[in-house]
Amino acid sequence: MIKKIIVSTCLLLSLVSFAQEGTSSPYSFYGIGDVRFKGAAENRSMAGLAVEQDSIHLNLENPASFANLKLTTFSLGGTYNTNKLKSDSKSESAKRTTLDYLAVGLPMGKFGIGFGLIPYSSVGYKVESLEGGSKRFSGSGGLNKAFLGVGYKIAPNFSIGADVQYNFGKIENTRLEFVTGVPLGTQELNTATLSGVNFNVGTMYKTKISKKLNFYSSLNYTLESTLTSNNTRNILTVSYDMRVDDVLDQEKFAKDLKLPSKLSFGAGIGESQKWLIGAQIVAGSKGDLVNTYNDMNIVSYEKSMKYSLGGYYIPNYNSFSSYAKRIVYRGGLKFDKTGLMVNSESINDIGLTLGLGLPISGSFSNVNIGFELGKKGTTSSNLVQENYANISVGFSLNDKWFVKRKFE
């Protein structure tokens, strides 16, 4: 059954990853858009904390985790987002529903393999000004990641791993201007087709510090990589009903962007199948994400830094009499210095996360629900502050594959 689910969902996500508009943030105009992948739903509910060597959940950040899988694991997640955009003078609201990731993990003795597809970043903004006519600015698209990774268990408490990621996608930005009294408007359409490869390596370690307590740690590093952007710039005249009247100019050229490197380290302590508390730091380089259509003097980039504190609690993992005691209760806090600076203001993201892991009776599979409240940006320096609320749902489905049947 799980194999049929994987095949049908892979086909669906391969279509949706190109079509969905996964953000409403005006900051998605810059760079490669709003980086919205925050990990699998169960980790996202702990502010991104992912340090435990889990045998039934996929850790999509550290490929060393694949070596710890005991069952074939299929992971799928999506998010419903509400966002209130506020400036000094006005406010607007927006809603989005997106698919966040699809991945499969296969245990193979001391080895583990993971592969999947992640819509990594999104562009999605619409701005209109009616002063002296009509000016409209809009953007769509984003960057996707297809990955294949392998983990290897060197010792029962220590594993290593690596994955390769193929980055691909398309971003479109449109500027449309109509002047009062003029029957035709001018449209500038910039299209960037993105492609590139990068690599990620990691390790995971755990050890006992007392009879019940364990120490967990996770370390992974994503190398800086080149992202090739094949750009097309079209200048058009259009009518009010958006029919193209004439193509005034077309220009094609390529530009190499630099995806920043990223170093992540996390550590925690806890009792297996009972509770865990930990912290994680993710440090990123500046990279070079400025493209020709979004190169502005008011925008610059700095090194990024994210701090997370999170954990979970299970009242009684093996309870037969109470379902509520088998639920995993999660929570976390995060502070994310995104690396984007506009008008000399750092764009920071602060959030509170909560979550529930709901076991599916009779199996190791579970449904993970996460809640996130946060604030991104500021109203200072004529900027926009985003107050957002996210509801995330993730499915972690487990099964045994490659088992020879005794009876036909």
pLDDT in tens, 63-92: 999 999 999 999 999 999 999 999 888 888
Q: What is the mean pLDDT of residues 25-50?
A: 93
What is the radius of gyration, based on Cα positions, of the chain?
A: 23
- Give the mean pLDDT of 361-368: 92
Q: Please report which confidence band the pLDDT of residue 395 belongs to, taking 50, 70 and 90 as the band edges.
A: very high
Q: Can you give the pLDDT at residue 11?
A: 42
pLDDT band for 132, please (50, 70, 90 cuts): low
H helices, E strands: number in the chain: 2, 18
**Which distant-in-sequence residues (6+ apart) come within 8 Å of 238 by Cβ?**
176, 184, 185, 186, 187, 244, 245
Q: How far is CA 318 from CA 109, 214, 314, 322, 325, in A?
A: 26, 19, 10, 9, 9
Q: E strands along 87-222, which residues?
A: 91-108, 111-129, 133-155, 158-179, 185-208, 213-222
Q: What is the DSSP letter of 288?
A: B
Q: Supply the mean pLDDT for the chain.
A: 90
Q: What percent of the chain has a predicted confidence (pLDDT) above 70? A: 91
- Tokens for 329? 């209760």
Condensed to tens digits (0 to 9), the pLDDT of residues 136-151 reads 888 999 999 999 999 9
Q: What is the 3-state secondary structure (H, E, C) of 198-243?
A: EEEEEEEEEEECCCCEEEEEEEEEECCEEEEEEEEEEEEEECCCCC
Q: How confident is the model at residue 212 (pLDDT cuts 50, 70, 90)?
A: very high
Length of the chain: 408
Tokens 């819509």 sit at which residue? 119
Residue 181 has pLDDT above 70, yes or no: yes
Question: Looking up tokens 């309870």, which residue turns up?
Answer: 319
In the structure, what pLDDT confidence band is assigned to residue 10 with cuts at 50, 70 and 90?
A: very low
Comparing CA positions, the residue from 52, 53, 50, 56 lying closest to residue 70 is 56
pTM of the entire predicted model: 0.89
- Listed range (132-141, 187-196, 214-223) with the worst mean pLDDT: 132-141
Decide if pLDDT at 9 tops 90.
Answer: no
Q: Read off φ and ψ for residue 14, nearest 5 degrees.
A: -65, -30
SS3 content of the chain, % helix, strand, coil (to 5): 10, 60, 30
